[in-house]
Amino acid sequence: MSHPGFLLSVWPWRSVAYLLTGAVTGAAALVVIVTVTAVSGALAIVLVGLPLLVVVALSGIPVAWVERRRLRLIDRDPAVGQHQEPAAPGLWPWLTTRLREQATWRELGHALLFAGLLWPIDALVVTVALLFPVSMVATPLMMATVGDGHETKVLKQWTITTWPTAFGVAVLGLLLMGLCCYVLGIAAGARAELTRLLIASREGELDAKVVELARSRFRLVDAFEAERRRIERDLHDGAQQRLVALTMALGLARLDAPPGPLADQLAKAHEEAGKALAELRELIHGIHPKILADYGLEAAVADAADRSVVPVDVDLELPGRPPQAVESAAYFVVCEALANVAKHSGADRAQVSGGHRDGRLFLQVRDDGRGGAEPSAGSGLTGLGDRVSVLDGRLALSSPPGGPTLLLVEFPCELTKAADRSV
């Protein structure tokens, strides 16, 4: 509004439109609310009116809806309602959700305030701020028409009899009109701010944005996990099966082949196919270990410990299964940690322990190696740290030179009961 072009811009008109429509909808809201309340009050005696009272309680919702849309006339920021999604479709869940949440009652309060107090103010501001300057500007016209060129009254108060005075008043009116545009702008702005405060706070929006961002991060992680599983399945059901069939065919051919160069060639081909199969198996295991999907984290960690070159003691007990994304991130952290132990630590023994306490899954990988591990040195832990933080988890590493190295990771999560596997 401090912009010099304000008076010539569309904003004064928008302000007028906002206040005018406000007066109209406010009056309409007043009529509807009073009518419904009166009718339901009267019918409450015969119990039919009680559901209507619920309608009165909910009347803030449509009013707030209209108000939020009307806000766009004057406010560029989108206004979002603070209602929650009902847990289930249907009228009853919707009704119980709405009656229980604070936003509904805020909106009812707003509707009552709007219908009782705000719309007359809107109307008053528009009337005064438009009527005064317009009637002053129109003074010469009034004098020429209604007053027959002799006299007219400005704002029904002061009698004017000469043309210079009439034009003077008109000029004053123009100045006043400019001033009133500012008044209208301020009034509309204040009204919009009040509405936003009552039924669509900006903080709420920010929270909603943060929640939405966090959700989209989770969705990305989930999509990533789903993709890993898809690739694993495709490789397993396609390439791997064909390679097995190939080694089988080659194995049978070897039985048939008479000793000689052909048998040697076959033996070589058979061996190569076997190697390819073993490599593919390791690759698939690295993409998404099946044991993790089938038996969960405990078994998968035990399996990783089995594969480790350094002997690993496992002490991990979970009463249920964490969400898939957490399970998989935790597993890969342990694998990476064990790989680092084998590659860099020079340890004789490592230990993986963990559990679930106070809504957090935590895991510890400890070794008795020489320490000095540095996550920033590209030990593969940096990437894992990112993956852990996406799930709101934390990864901590303590590795003083000379050892021992201790890696801690924890995730906030709830465990679900392991599905009954006997079914």
Name the residue nearer to other proteins (CB basis): 238 or 320: 238
Give the count of residues interacting with other proteins (CB under 8 A). Answer: 42
Choose, by CB under 8 A, the member of 146, 175, 214, 309 that binds other proteins: 309
Q: How far is the CB of 218 from other proteins (least distance, A)?
A: 24
Q: Pick from 72, 217, 228, 236: which binds other proteins (CB under 8 A)?
A: 236
Q: How far apart are CA 70 and CA 20, in angstroms?
A: 11
Q: How far is the CB of 280 from other proteins (least distance, A)?
A: 10
Distance between CA atoms of residues 278 and 63, nearest Å: 68
Nearby residues of 101 by Cβ (< 8 Å), 6 or more positions away: 82, 83, 84
Angle in degrees, 0-180, between the axes of helices 49-58 and 60-70, rounded to the nearest 10: 30
Cβ closest to other proteins, residue 86 vs residue 274: 274
Would you count residue 14 as binding other proteins (CB under 8 A)? Answer: no
Give the footprint of other proteins on residues 269-308 (CB under 8 A). 270, 273-274, 277-278, 281, 284-285, 289-291, 293-295, 299, 302-303, 305-308
Question: Phi, psi at residue 257, to the nearest 5°?
Answer: -70, 130
Closest CA to 419 of 320, 271, 310: 320
Both tokens of 341, joined, read 């132990």
The CB-of-295 to other proteins minimum distance in angstroms stands at 5
Name which of 292, 323, 321 is nearest 417 in CA terms.
321
Closer residue to other proteins (CB): 31 or 283:
283
DSSP 8-state symbol, 237: I
Q: Considering the rule CB under 8 A, would residue 157 count as an interface residue with other proteins?
A: no
189, amino acid identity = G
CB of 35 to other proteins, least distance (A): 60
Shortest Å, Cβ 55 to other proteins: 49
Phi–psi pair at 207, nearest 5 degrees: -55, -45
Helix axes 102-113, 60-70, angle to 10 degrees: 70
Query: In this chain, which of 233, 360, 370, 394 binds other proteins, going by CB under 8 A?
Result: 233
* 311 scored as a contact of other proteins (CB under 8 A): yes
Q: Which two tokens stand for residue 212?
A: 């939405």
Choosing from 240, 328, 345, 364, the residue that interacts with other proteins (CB under 8 A) is: 240
Nearer to other proteins, 212 or 271 (CB): 271
Verify binding: residue 422, other proteins, rule CB under 8 A.
yes
Binding positions for other proteins, 367-406, rule CB under 8 A: none
Q: Minimal CA–CA distance to 330: which of 399, 269, 407, 409?
A: 409
Which residue in the set 81, 86, 251, 372 belongs to the binding site for other proteins (CB under 8 A)? 251
Backbone angles phi, psi at 241, to 5 degrees: -60, -40
Runs of H (alpha helix) within 257-323 = 261-287, 290-295, 297-307
Binder of other proteins out of 247, 340, 345, 364 (CB under 8 A): 247
Contact window for other proteins (CB under 8 A) among 168-176, 230-238, 340-348, 370-378: 230-238
The stretch among 23-31, 38-46, 178-186, 250-258 that binds other proteins (CB under 8 A) is 250-258
Length of the chain: 423
Q: Does 241 bind other proteins (CB under 8 A)?
A: yes
β pairing state of 312-316 and 350-357: parallel
- Please identify, using beta-carbon distances, which residue of 179 and 246 lies nearer to other proteins: 246
Nearest-angstrom CA–CA distance, 278 and 166? 102
How far is residue 344's CA from residue 397's CA, in Å, rounded to a whole number? 15
For the record, the structure tokens of 371 come out as: 């320490």
Looking at the Cβ atoms of 14 and 254, the one nearer to other proteins is 254
* Interface residue list for other proteins (CB under 8 A): 233, 236-237, 240-242, 244-245, 247-252, 254-255, 270, 273-274, 277-278, 281, 284-285, 289-291, 293-295, 299, 302-303, 305-309, 311-312, 421-422
